[in-house]
Structure 1
Amino acid sequence: MSESRPRIVPEATVARLAVYLRVLAGLADGGRSHVSSGELASAAGVNPAGLRKDLSYLGPCGVRGVGYSINGLRDRLTEVLGGERSRPCVLVGIGRLGSALADYSGFASRGFQFAGLLDSDPRSVGSEVGGLTVRPVEDLEAVVAETRASIGVITTPAEVAQSVCDRLVAAGVRSILNFAPVALTVPAGVDVRKVDLSVELQVLAFLDQQRDGSAPVVAALRATGGAR
């Protein structure tokens, strides 16, 4: 008899599971003990069928007619997403965005802890942000080794992001969150998540136009009778 293999959770599902965890945290803070699939789906911006499919990767976790135990589902999601233990992170680039991220206290409650901050600007080096002293970027490899960081966050200008990424990978970091406006090239076995705030704002701008019918595509379709 062959051994059963764990189900591989699709990346898109993982992203939604993280959203469900955030919603559950808010409900728990409000004193709630249970939530229905419909309410959780609505708060997360998905349909109930999609929610149930996503949560099926966790195994049985709801009771018909009662819904989900908020604390129980939070614990299960935290376990699956790897948030039950603290993961040290290093952040490179202490500009306005980097400083804001480093100073945000909400990451710790989700299992992420900035353990090292680095920058190339002498005016930033030696300053304190979020309780940590900013070190020169030349110390990157030493900081990764000292902190055993598993995640690197890049908030540098685009022109230096790839070289910083290369150094992080060479130092042993295998997960990178990139805020720099450039696509990074990494070897197999290294995961990169890109956060492009300008793209997200452009998408919102288009959706805003679409709501009042002024988006170019919508207008063109209406002019040719293609939209009803």
Structure 2
Amino acid sequence: MTDREAQHGERALPEATLERLTVYLRALEAAQQAGERTVSSETLASAAGANPAILRKDLSLLGGSFGRRGVGYDVAGLADHIGATLGLKERWRVAIVGAGNLGRALAGFSGFRGHGFELIAILDRSPAVIGRPVAGLRVRPAEDLESIVAAEAVNMAVLAVPNAAAQSVCNELVAAGIRNILNFAPVVLQAPADVNIRQVDMSRELQILAYYAHQGVGHQDAVPPLAPE
């Protein structure tokens, strides 16, 4: 049991459940936008590549009751509860470290404009990019990271730096008080146990995709491509 679990009296959800919850939430939000008030277990489960039994098991871990037999799940209520479970009711103030091609692309990511995420700062060490506008912000010196974190109340960081710099920047973030880091450098970062690090390794995913392609394996339930307009 982690310190957080002991403090809040709750046990962490399984990783697979967390991943499916994010997909359920996306499907529920799409249903809300379409004006739907309820959704069937079959529809919601299939959105995550699961079945109704897995869906019910996932939702049972959240507590509460969200559906009625023959009616389906309340779209707004379930979306709200999943969002709260995922911590999306909190205010996440994000800093991106690295203003290269990847960092600039991430800064323009629309996901920062919803679910409580707010892009607060983008930092870099290169004099060539410091001061340049990116996504409505000016690139700030990475040397000022600690003071920026404190002044702007940053509580989440995205690493978009070269491999060789990733660990040292991670160390600086931890020293500045950041405990939530999304890392795009394909290196395993070392950090204290109370620091949450999520790894986005695109080269690894491409290698796995190449394996499946080489084996002639495809996802039979894949969504067909959109027809050209």
**TM-score grouping bracket, smaller chain normalisation:** 0.7 to 0.9
Cα distance between partner residues in 2 of 1:144 and 1:116 = 9
Per-residue deviation at 1:39?
0.8
TM-score with structure 2 setting the length:
0.86
Residue in 2 aligned with 1:52?
56
Give structure 1 regions of 4+ aligned residues with deviation exceeding 3 angstroms: 4-8
Per-residue deviation at 1:79?
0.9
Q: 1:212 to 1:56 in 2, by over 3 A?
A: closer
Greater helix share, structure number:
1
My pick for the range that moved more, 149-158 or 200-209, is 200-209
Of the three residues 2, 10, 15, the one matched with 1:11 is 15
Secondary structure of 2:114's partner?
helix
Residue in 1 aligned with 2:222?
none
Per-residue deviation at 1:85?
2.7
Per-residue deviation at 1:11?
2.9
Contact (CA 8 Å) 2:23, 2:47: kept in 1 or not? Answer: no
Aligned ranges for residues 91-110 of structure 1 at < 5 Å?
91-110=96-115
Q: 1:45 to 1:107 in 2, by over 3 A?
A: farther
Contact (CA 8 Å) 2:125, 2:141: kept in 1 or not? Answer: yes
Residue in 1 aligned with 2:24?
20
Quick one: which amino acid aligns to residue 108 of structure 1? R
Of the three residues 147, 150, 153, the one matched with 1:145 is 150
Residue in 2 aligned with 1:40?
44
Per-residue deviation at 1:10?
2.2
What is the CA deviation profile of residues 92-115 of structure 1, one whole-angstrom value per residue up to 9, with x for unaligned ones? 011111111111223221211111
Cα distance between partner residues in 1 of 2:217 and 2:208 = 15
Residue in 2 aligned with 1:156?
161
| Number of corresponding residues | 210
Of the three residues 163, 166, 188, the one matched with 1:183 is 188
Choose 1 or 2 for highest CA Rg: 1
Question: Which runs of 5 or more residues in structure 2 are unaligned?
Answer: 1-7, 219-229
Per-residue deviation at 1:212?
5.9
Of the three residues 124, 137, 148, the one matched with 1:119 is 124
Cα distance between partner residues in 1 of 2:175 and 2:126 = 23
Q: 1:212 to 1:105 in 2, by over 3 A?
A: closer
What is the CA deviation profile of residues 116-162 of structure 1, one whole-angstrom value per residue up to 9, with x for unaligned ones? 11011112110111111110110111111111111111010000000
Per-residue deviation at 1:211?
2.8
Quick one: which amino acid aligns to residue 53 of structure 1? K
Q: Percent identity?
A: 51
